[in-house]
Structure 1
Amino acid sequence: MADDFFDFSPGAQIPVTGGAGGTAATHALASVAYRDDPLDKITEADSEWHKTAVKPGKLKIFAPLLGEAFSQAVVVRMLGAGRSPLIQAFGMEPQVVVEHCLAASRLRKQRDRRLTLVTLVCGVLFLPGAALWVLAFQLRAMSGKWVAKGADLLGTLLMLVGGIASVVLLIGLPTEGILPWYIRGCIVGPVLGWFVAKQLAERTAQDLRAHWSSLLAGGGSGAKIPEAVPANPDDAAAEQLRVSLAKLAAEQQSNSVFYAGPKGILGMGTRWGSWQLAEDLEPAEAGKEINPFRSWDVIRAIHDQLQMLERGPLHTGGFPKPSVKHWIVSPVGENAGGVSRPEGETVEAYQVKPHEIQRICNEQQFSNGNRHYLGVQFVLWDGQLVLTMLITVTVLHHTLRIEVTGHALGPVHGLFSGGPAARERTTAKPIKFWETKTHKLPLVDATEVVRLLVRAPLTPYPPVLDFLGGKLALPEPFGLRHVWAGRPWANRFMADDALRTAAPVLRVVHKAALRVLEENGVDTSRFAGRAAGLSGAVQDAAPKKADLYDA
């Protein structure tokens, strides 16, 4: 982790590169903060290696919805004090997602403050009646555990019995004395509070759904988080939030990544292809020595040529401008529960310094330690597809090896791209029974109003709500993009894009490397022959599980 005393003010931030246009994945994940789906629905997006845990609470009536639990979990994980390192979210902007989580939580807190007032006036003041009504709704919520079929009928029966008993008490109680009137208040007060709360909850639900729809439509206004703007020099909470957001943006631009065995490089996806050129270094002229050079000299020449990939002899569109970057790759276990970023004098603001990158490239090619890779990355399909080709150069004894590997990260799971479903009910017309009529239902039903009312006073105490209602546990090591990414091979055009990237990148790498070898007096005949063979083989590139060894 970067030094806690580093100044992450806007002047120290590193400009965002390689993520331009990646709004589809960003907006899809940001929309989750506004959703009103059941929390269990997010488990549909689980992949082979990343499982989301939904931890149930003690009382079902306190259970959070997907948007509530997601916003809370993401904000705590990505902005919390002393948090663990995050995995970069390539192809999107995680800061935007976090800002929308904060904005959605702010809308809900505004609603909950009003609901808390309603709870105090109509609930606490008439506590006996409110407790009975809440108990009835809790029994209704739990009825599904007891009865496999007919749960709705049991719940309706419970509410009907409660309603009839309430009417009998209202009519049958005497009209003299304070106690009978207080009992009437205990019956009517919670119902009146429920009606007021329903109007408040309905307005907020409409607002949240409007943000949800707007984000998925490609528009959407920016998230409003005034709490991140210090109102005065002593506003420590706002300043801490501002610094946390700045740290998140800086870590997103970190040049260190993690290789997790069969999972591939976390954030970049699994390795689907590998091409290696390895030959001995021999002088071009007998009796002469080759000029001394290092791996970094070859890498630097390849770096310069990869930056011109978007240029070509024909005006046919071709590659967009790629992001070419030096990466420091650390090995972690396949089932590692967390990662640790490089630290010390060679790291500043989550960035490994250039002189350390050059040292690792030249010296750490064998045995333990981090490794250097040169990466060329394409963010395509509006951020839904991330293609990364990694190049590493090693020299062991007389053998120089140039390895090119392909990594692909697929689109965000389709669950996150679904818009809000209309709350409607279709019934047959009473006379023209062969025709149907659609009735628009309210977004917030009776049970949801009660759930919001009992949760509202506890909003300032998230640990209590987590204990009573449950929470969402995010997969680790956590990164917004890779834990919910699908397979690119399920989309024919995405698969084509991945396969077509390999040949031109491989040829540019080999051409640049051969030029450096020739300039330093190396016999390139064997290298050229091997490169020609790989150039032919890469035309028939096919995705494989290159990190799964049959051993």
Structure 2
Amino acid sequence: MTVESGYADIFGPQVPRTGDEGQTATFALASAAYRDNPVEEILKANSEWHQSAVSSGKIALFRPNLGEAFSRAVVDRMLGAGRKPLIQSFGTEPQAVVEHCLAANRIRRERDNWLSAVMVLCGLLFLPGLVVWLLVFQIRTTIAKREDKRAGALATTLLVAAGALAVIFLIRMPFTGFWAWYARAAVIAPVVGWFWAKQICERTARDLRERWDSLLSGSSVGAKVPEAVPSSPGETAAEALRQSLAKLSAEQQSNSVFYAGPKGVLGMGTRWGSWQLAEDLVPADADREIHPFRSWDVIRSVHDQLRMLERGPLNTGGFPKPSIRHWVVTPIGENAKAVSRPEGTDVDAYQVKSHAIQDICNKQQFGAGDRHYLGVQWTLWDGQLVITMMITVTVLHETLRIEVTGHALGPVHSLFTSKPEAKEKQVQKSVKFWETRTVKLPLVDADEVVRLAARAPLTWYPPLLNWLGGTLSLPEPFGLRHAWADKPWRHRFMADDALRAATPVLRVVHAAAIRVLAENGVETEKFGTRSAFLSTAVQDTSPRKADVYDA
């Protein structure tokens, strides 16, 4: 295995090293794979543009929790056969998130194997008793879901009553001989299996919670996915998984993005500001014509000057090194549910080739088709803030237009940055009843043990389990980073960083463009005047919805 994209070869799969950019956002999203919250919690992370959905199953007893639903949905969507194209996750490493989802699935699969054995030994062989106990817990779960405050007490009373009836049944057995002993075993064996299953579930729950906490504490906990490392040429499943992960990484590096109207550039965030310099191309010398040049010549000069952004006359920190790339931007509908990446001889491994980008820059400036943008991007706050400034140059008739737009993608929703909390509750003291004390609750309660044990045998056939328990539907077009991103404007320093980047970028772009115009015999006085005006205006800039037109 080679080391690529800041990854180290550990246990076969690749995990990001401590200190790599995007660590916080990556680990926050990866932690969702290990969570044991109710699956409905993820609906709190829905944004104005991206909506997840939780489908209800047929039987509440088989419902998944957040970690189970998230890890299964992400793996199926990002590695599934014939999957639709993905949106790049700027500021994160999606391969690391997917590998943590695979690792979580493997841990749960090992637990489910043990639980399946328990279900066979203590349940299937004593099926009548198992069915009765599951029916009791199903009724209890249904009652407990009601909003009535007395529902919890009623559900507990039901379980106590069922236990009392079981004791009476054991004492006053209506059968004799073999069936009497079998009936007693059918009542007792599922209870014994429950205690056995509880130990298995608690051991796994502690492991999952430790991984959840380690990821959010900054520890580079490794995602162990041995099934992604083929050990022999005949392991086709492992080879297919390895190729799927490689395909995911290649698509993450694609230079093709999508503009979804008011949703902005998918993966980069909405457009919060726009500055346009448009003036006529007039010869500087009336006796001489303008030396012919193309939009690409201007863009290339801007590209060279943007590489100097990290340098300055004063040693005051300033800009970190930005990522500067040429982007092919494809327009899609605001409510489009899928995207289609460019294909053909001009595309290689999701990358549009340089000569095709130049053709788009010089020719596709009006009417249908993709457009070219030069982007300068900073990933800040450990991946929690992605600032992107996009530059495009167009020439229509005698007018040259230079447009600079600002895009900002905020931090991942706070749901993903919450650490595991100890399970406890406040109860009144027995003597000093006016005071309360904290009581620690079991990590896995009775209902959770039954739920996990009931689901375990069905995990071998996910379609049936999804039909019975429900699934998590991911927002489309799907990308890990932008699907659950908050707006950066609620965070003072993040907002300041986004706004401060606009002025120096705008000035560098204008200076580089005007230099090219002067070298090719264009009168630059009007361009300089307009640039000075924009340079003044950008200092008083404020974020707005630049893609929402009041028309």
For 2:527, the aligned partner's letter is F
* 2-structure distance, mates of 1:473, 1:443: 28
For 2:171, the aligned partner's letter is I
Deviations 1:349-393 (A, max 9, x none): 000000100110001000000000000001111100100000000
Q: Which residue of 1 aligns with 2:378?
A: 378
Q: Which residue of 2 aligns with 1:460?
A: 460
* 1-structure distance, mates of 2:292, 2:118: 80
Residue 512 of structure 1: how far off its partner (Å): 0.5
- On the 8 A contact 1:325/1:374 being kept in 2, the answer is yes
- On the 8 A contact 1:89/1:481 being kept in 2, the answer is yes
* 2-structure distance, mates of 1:147, 1:215: 34
- On the 8 A contact 1:256/1:352 being kept in 2, the answer is yes
For 2:343, the aligned partner's letter is E
Q: Which residue of 1 aligns with 2:11?
A: none
* Mean CA deviation greater in 124-133 or 153-162: 153-162
Deviations 1:165-208 (A, max 9, x none): 11112122279511111000001100000000000000000000
Q: Which residue of 2 aligns with 1:520?
A: 520
Deviations 1:381-417 (A, max 9, x none): 1100100000000011111110000001111011111
* 2-structure distance, mates of 1:136, 1:174: 21
Once the two structures are superposed, the pairs formed by residues 479-518 of structure 1 within 5 Å of their partners are: 479-518=479-518
SS class of match (2:443): coil
Q: Which residue of 2 aligns with 1:88?
A: 88
For 2:411, the aligned partner's letter is P
For 2:473, the aligned partner's letter is A
Residue 336 of structure 1: how far off its partner (Å): 0.3
Q: Which residue of 1 aligns with 2:546?
A: 546
SS class of match (2:405): strand
* 2-structure distance, mates of 1:73, 1:522: 56
Q: Which residue of 1 aligns with 2:405?
A: 405
Residues 304 and 147 of structure 1: is their aligned pair in 2 closer, same or farther, counting only changes over 3 Å?
Answer: closer
What's the TM-score once normalised by structure 2's chain length?
A: 0.96
Percent identity between the two aligned chains: 66
Deviations 1:524-550 (A, max 9, x none): 111111111111111111111110111
Residue 160 of structure 1: how far off its partner (Å): 1.4
- On the 8 A contact 1:14/1:253 being kept in 2, the answer is no
Give the aligned CA root-mean-square deviation in angstroms.
1.7
- On the 8 A contact 2:6/2:20 being kept in 1, the answer is no
Residues 112 and 187 of structure 1: is their aligned pair in 2 closer, same or farther, counting only changes over 3 Å?
Answer: same
* 2-structure distance, mates of 1:361, 1:491: 36
- On the 8 A contact 1:22/1:379 being kept in 2, the answer is yes
Once the two structures are superposed, the pairs formed by residues 431-446 of structure 1 within 5 Å of their partners are: 431-433=431-433, 435-446=435-446
SS class of match (2:314): coil
Residue 143 of structure 1: how far off its partner (Å): 1.2
Q: Which residue of 2 aligns with 1:281?
A: 281
- On the 8 A contact 1:387/1:407 being kept in 2, the answer is yes
* 2-structure distance, mates of 1:395, 1:539: 27
* 2-structure distance, mates of 1:513, 1:398: 16
Once the two structures are superposed, the pairs formed by residues 175-254 of structure 1 within 5 Å of their partners are: 177-254=177-254
Deviations 1:300-359 (A, max 9, x none): 000011011000000000000000000000000000010000000000000000010011
Moved over 6 A (4+): 13-17
Residue 438 of structure 1: how far off its partner (Å): 2.3
- On the 8 A contact 1:197/1:449 being kept in 2, the answer is yes
SS class of match (1:126): helix
Residue 48 of structure 1: how far off its partner (Å): 1.0
Tell me the matched-pair count: 541
Residues 397 and 24 of structure 1: is their aligned pair in 2 closer, same or farther, counting only changes over 3 Å?
Answer: same
- On the 8 A contact 1:272/1:545 being kept in 2, the answer is yes
Residue 472 of structure 1: how far off its partner (Å): 0.3
For 2:160, the aligned partner's letter is L
For 2:407, the aligned partner's letter is H
SS class of match (1:129): helix
For 1:269, the aligned partner's letter is G
- On the 8 A contact 2:375/2:388 being kept in 1, the answer is yes
* 2-structure distance, mates of 1:147, 1:321: 54
* 2-structure distance, mates of 1:46, 1:428: 38
Residue 441 of structure 1: how far off its partner (Å): 1.4
For 1:23, the aligned partner's letter is Q
Residues 122 and 312 of structure 1: is their aligned pair in 2 closer, same or farther, counting only changes over 3 Å?
Answer: same
- On the 8 A contact 1:385/1:411 being kept in 2, the answer is yes
- On the 8 A contact 1:272/1:406 being kept in 2, the answer is yes
* 1-structure distance, mates of 2:274, 2:437: 59
- Structure 1: segments with no counterpart, 5+ residues: 1-8
* 1-structure distance, mates of 2:237, 2:2: 18
For 1:303, the aligned partner's letter is H
Q: Which residue of 1 aligns with 2:10?
A: none
Residue 297 of structure 1: how far off its partner (Å): 0.4
- On the 8 A contact 1:211/1:220 being kept in 2, the answer is no
* 2-structure distance, mates of 1:511, 1:147: 64
* 2-structure distance, mates of 1:362, 1:101: 43
Residue 433 of structure 1: how far off its partner (Å): 4.1
- The yes-or-no answer on 1:36 pairing with 2:43 is no
- Structure 2: segments with no counterpart, 5+ residues: 8-15
* 1-structure distance, mates of 2:115, 2:20: 41
- On the 8 A contact 1:14/1:250 being kept in 2, the answer is no
